[in-house]
Amino acid sequence: MGRLKKVVLILLLLDATMICFLAINSPRKKITIAGSSTVFPLAQRWGDIYMDLYTHMSVEITGGGSGMGIIATGEHTVDIGMSSHPLEQSQRKRFPYLVEIPIALDGVAIVANENVNDTLKLTREMIVSIFSGVVDTWDELEEMFNVSIGISGEIIVCVRADKSGTTDVFSKWLSMDPNWTLGHGEVISWPKSPRFISGNGNQEVLINVKNNPSAIGYVGLAYTTSEGIVVAEILNPSTGEYIEPSQDTVKIAAQREILYPNESLFDPNISGAYPISRSLYFIIDREFIIAKKYVIEFIRWVLDDNGGQRQEIVRDVGYVEISGTKLQELAISIIEELYES
């Protein structure tokens, strides 16, 4: 081999070695996500798959609740916030550049201990009476609403203590009844009664319901498959139907024209639609995120149906995909506009 060829070969080998060295030792681009305990397991699945596909990326996800995720996004300590409710007016005022990106659908379910009743049917008025503390016992509830529940004794009411998007959505739905006087928000001042048991996160509420034979509480849809509970059918006042929360009945609630990402999905006038349905969100700061195209690319990947997994795994986690809904079209249009800017 001529001397020149040897020199060229050595240079090529050095270049290849340097490229490998840089690839191995170059820092991974990091996406940080925090917030809703409801969205957490879904975001974690997406993050794991994304890192397997794109090994130069790192996706770090922590919980903390919707409120914390929104604040962290607004203060630029994370790239993406997770929220199980739309932004409040106070949050919009404090952080005017925050944008909601719908990523999935969910429902707030009313669950009771398995001892309560196998076929529990509830109206909003009944739920208001229970969670506002107006009725103390199941017997009182039966008498007040002329129904048969099938259990006697005190009603143990299991609620959230932490800042919670699930509480915000649930209390907003209850606020549609004029007899609900506790307001709405991520934190509610529940009645000061030993019958009310508080827990942090959906899982603690679920455990409290399972541990108390006459208990009732509220959780996200993904937590309704647990043993030891019954899931209530809720009256949709727009259709007159009692509907059990499921992936299919929640998706029906989104089968209509939706113009804004924060639109309510409550009580849709669609047969078979679950009345306490909601969107789940990624929250981003549109001014902060423009310089981080790789974060926008991750959200585009989440919303895209091409190649399968992204929206398909939503059902695996226990929630509902937005594929084929106007909500998906809206979310994609928002993220594409951000990407192009």
CATH of the domain at 236: 3.40.190.10
According to the model, what pLDDT value does residue 219 have? 95
Q: Are residues 180 and 201 in the same domain?
A: yes
Q: Are residues 149 and 186 in the same domain?
A: yes
Out of 254, 277, 300, pick the residue that ends a domain: 277
Q: In sequence order, what DSSP letters do the residues of 189-252 get, joined into one string?
A: -----TTEEEESHHHHHHHHHHHSTTEEEEEEGGGTT-TTEEE-EEEETTTTEEE---HHHHHH
Q: Are residues 149 and 221 in the same domain?
A: yes
According to the model, what pLDDT value does residue 80 have? 98
**Residue partners of 29: CB distance under 8 A and separation at least 6:** 56, 57, 58, 294
State residue 254 phi and psi, 5-degree precision: -100, 5
Q: Are residues 131 and 206 in the same domain?
A: yes
According to the model, what pLDDT value does residue 311 have? 76
339, 296 contact by CB (below 8 A): yes
Q: Are residues 180 and 126 in the same domain?
A: yes
Measured N-to-C along each axis, helices 309-317 and 40-53 cross at an angle, to the nearest 10 degrees, of 150
Chain centroid to CA 142: 33
Q: Are residues 157 and 213 in the same domain?
A: yes
Sign of CA dihedral 308, 314, 318, 319: negative
Residue 75 sits in which domain range? Answer: 28-106+279-340
Beta bridge partners of 283: 81, 100
Residue 58 resides in a domain: yes
Q: Per-residue pLDDT for the chain (341 aa), expressed as one digit of tens each?
A: 555 455 444 444 445 454 444 444 556 799 999 998 889 999 999 999 999 999 999 999 999 888 899 999 999 999 999 998 999 999 999 999 999 999 999 999 999 999 998 789 999 999 999 999 999 999 999 999 999 998 899 999 999 998 888 999 999 999 999 999 999 998 999 999 999 999 998 999 999 999 999 999 999 998 999 999 999 999 999 999 999 999 999 999 998 888 888 999 999 999 999 999 999 999 999 999 888 999 999 999 999 866 455 777 899 888 999 988 889 989 999 999 988 87
Q: What tokens were used for 102? A: 């719908």
State the alpha helices, DSSP H only, in 57-111.
Answer: 66-74, 89-94
282, 31 contact by CB (below 8 A): no
According to the model, what pLDDT value does residue 2 have? 58
According to the model, what pLDDT value does residue 8 have? 44
**Token match 């199941």: residue?**
138
CA gap 213, 200 in Å, rounded: 20
Total structural domains in the chain? 2
| Of the candidates 223, 16, 222, 225, the residue with the CA atom closest to the CA atom of residue 104 | 222
Supply the pTM of this predicted model.
0.84
Q: Are residues 151 and 261 in the same domain?
A: yes
Residue 260 resides in a domain: yes
Q: Are residues 172 and 319 in the same domain?
A: no
State the alpha helices, DSSP H only, in the chain.
Answer: 3-25, 40-53, 66-74, 89-94, 124-131, 138-145, 165-174, 201-211, 247-253, 286-289, 293-303, 309-317, 326-340
According to the model, what pLDDT value does residue 23 have? 45
Q: What tokens were used for 247? A: 């992936």
Q: Are residues 64 and 153 in the same domain?
A: no
